[in-house]
Amino acid sequence: MKLRTLFGLNSYVFLIFGLAALVAPTPLSSLYGAKLNQYGVYSTQFLGGTFLGYAVLAWFGRNAEESQVRHAIILALFVTWSTGFVLALKGQLFGDFNDLGWVHVAVSFLFAFGYGYFQIKT
């Protein structure tokens, strides 16, 4: 896979999850067996806004030339997805989410692996 493709795919994933978390945090969380209090709704919406920012970063980063800036974007997204993987895996192993949570484990792992590959390669 090319880095440009990874950035593009990543921007769509961030866009979908970001909009869902921003617009419908309670129904989104209930899909995973989680119940949100008022702070949980706010936190999920805040995360949704953050994901929308990442979507923009990944979308415009896909056209970035080889540079320190592009390396910084790759590293930032590697850290984001690696952290997400660890947290999603922890949530699954401790029974915090239903089986749908394994989707987040897999998606986070794949993106972390992809960005890790390009971090080492470039």
- Residues 29-73 have pLDDT tens digits of 999 999 999 999 999 999 999 999 999 999 999 999 999 999 999
Q: How far apart are CA 15 and CA 17, in angstroms?
A: 6
CA 51 remoteness from chain centre: 7
* CB contact at 8 A, 70 and 57: no
Give the whole-angstrom CA distance, residue 31 versus residue 6.
26
Task: Please state the rounded mean pLDDT for residues 70-96.
Answer: 97
Residue 92 CB partners (closer than 8 Å, separation 6+): 101, 102, 105
Q: What is the pLDDT, as a whole number, of residue 122?
A: 78
- Residues making up the chain, counted from first to last: 122
Structure tokens belonging to residue 50 = 């953050």
pTM, full prediction:
0.92
**Whole-angstrom Cα distance, residue 10 to residue 121?**
19
- Position 97 scores a pLDDT of 93
